[in-house]
């Protein structure tokens, strides 16, 4: 009996510990959530209280109506979808080629891609900037989409190659005997089989673009072409319109869709990261 009581106390202590850790970890998010419901920008500055004096949805209304939030949302959607289409379109066929064909230069090409991926894109930002200035691609959605698609393409190739490798080749051979052409093979057999991998990769590309702020703020100079990330960055950077409750409401609005998507694909992300191609 003594032993089981001792064990129960230990478990209770452990629970208490984890409750504290979780709360501590959530404090910044909860605080911003509270802040976003607080009325007036001065309400929280003076007192030491954490709870706002009154709860209001005013900040959410202001961010949606008075700030060009919907415009930013629209830009983010355009960029995400555009990047996804280009990156997936180029990387699906490439990862298929790497997975199914044994050709000269295959290994070298794959290693080169890994090497290129190791180069942090921030470091070549200036070179891209100069190049885009020359090509007149600054301040355009198309230009930014190409930048994102370029780096995400390598990620997609490596990520999906791992999944293609695990699809048995016999299925393809059988359909080839049945007279399926190459294009038909890809569209009708390969893509449906690799659907989970394709969905996860596409979602990760979406999340990447949604969360990118540095290129979005460097390459987009007009307020109407900002993405959500750029807009949020401006909200907190601009001295004149600085209002933390407003910023908090915007931060919440930007994060919630990502939180939902993240928790939907979380299971696959973990297995994708460990079993897939990111591993070298």
Q: How far is the CB of 125 from other proteins (least distance, A)?
A: 7
- Examine residue 194 and tell whether it contacts other proteins (CB under 8 A): no
The residues in 231-260 that bind other proteins, with binding defined as CB under 8 A, are 232-233, 236-237, 239, 244, 247-248, 251, 254-255, 258-259
Q: How far apart are CA 75 and CA 219, in angstroms?
A: 13
**Which one, of 24, 12, 38, 2, lies nearest residue 244 by Cα?**
38
For other proteins, which residue of 6, 16, 17, 57 counts as binding (CB under 8 A)? Answer: 17
The residues in 123-162 that bind other proteins, with binding defined as CB under 8 A, are 123-128, 130-131, 146-147, 149-151, 153-154, 157
Residue 141 neighbours by CB under 8 Å, 6+ apart? 75, 78, 79, 82, 225
The residues in 170-189 that bind other proteins, with binding defined as CB under 8 A, are 182
Q: How far is the CB of 171 from other proteins (least distance, A)?
A: 19
- Examine residue 27 and tell whether it contacts other proteins (CB under 8 A): yes
- Examine residue 204 and tell whether it contacts other proteins (CB under 8 A): no
Q: How far is the CB of 148 from other proteins (least distance, A)?
A: 9
For other proteins, which residue of 73, 97, 185, 189 counts as binding (CB under 8 A)? Answer: 97
- Examine residue 84 and tell whether it contacts other proteins (CB under 8 A): no
**Which one, of 79, 119, 87, lies nearest residue 220 by Cα?**
79
CA angle (53 as vertex; 49, 58 as ends), nearest 5:
130
Q: How far is the CB of 259 from other proteins (least distance, A)?
A: 5
Q: Are 202 and 84 in contact (CB under 8 A)?
A: yes
Kindly indicate which of the ranges 15-23, 52-60, 65-73, 159-167 contains the residues binding other proteins, using the contact rule CB under 8 A.
Answer: 15-23
Q: How far is the CB of 224 from other proteins (least distance, A)?
A: 20
Contacts 24+ apart (CB under 8 A), 46-51: none
The residues in 58-77 that bind other proteins, with binding defined as CB under 8 A, are none
**Which one, of 162, 149, 158, lies nearest residue 118 by Cα?**
158
Q: How far apart are CA 78 and CA 64, in angstroms?
A: 19
Torsion sign, CA atoms 254, 255, 257, 261: positive
């Amino acid at each position: 009996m003594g032993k089981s009581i001792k064990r129960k106390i230990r478990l209770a202590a452990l629970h208490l510990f984890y409750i504290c850790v979780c709360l501590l970890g959530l404090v910044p998010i909860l605080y911003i959530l509270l802040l976003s419901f607080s009325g007036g920008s001065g309400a929280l500055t003076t007192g030491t209280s954490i709870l706002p004096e009154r709860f209001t949805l005013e900040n959410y209304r202001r961010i949606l109506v008075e700030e060009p939030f919907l415009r930013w949302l629209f830009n983010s959607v355009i960029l995400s979808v555009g990047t996804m289409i280009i990156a997936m379109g180029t990387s699906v066929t490439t990862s298929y080629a790497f997975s199914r064909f044994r050709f000269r230069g295959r290994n070298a090409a794959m290693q080169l891609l890994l090497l290129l991926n190791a180069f942090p894109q921030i470091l070549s930002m200036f070179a891209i900037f100069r190049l885009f200035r020359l090509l007149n691609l600054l301040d355009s959605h198309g230009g930014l989409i190409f930048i994102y698609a370029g780096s995400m393409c390598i990620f997609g190739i490596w990520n999906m190659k791992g999944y293609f490798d695990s699809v048995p080749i016999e299925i393809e051979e059988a359909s080839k005997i049945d007279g399926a052409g190459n294009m038909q093979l890809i569209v009708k057999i390969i893509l449906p089989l690799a659907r989970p991998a394709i969905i996860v990769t596409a979602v990760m590309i979406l999340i990447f673009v949604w969360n990118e702020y540095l290129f979005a703020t460097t390459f987009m100079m007009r307020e109407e072409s900002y993405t959500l990330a750029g807009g949020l960055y401006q909200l907190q950077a601009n001295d004149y319109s600085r209002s933390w409750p407003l910023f908090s409401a915007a931060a919440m609005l930007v994060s919630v869709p990502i939180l939902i998507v993240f928790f939907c694909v979380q299971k696959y992300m973990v297995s994708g990261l460990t079993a897939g191609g990111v591993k070298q």
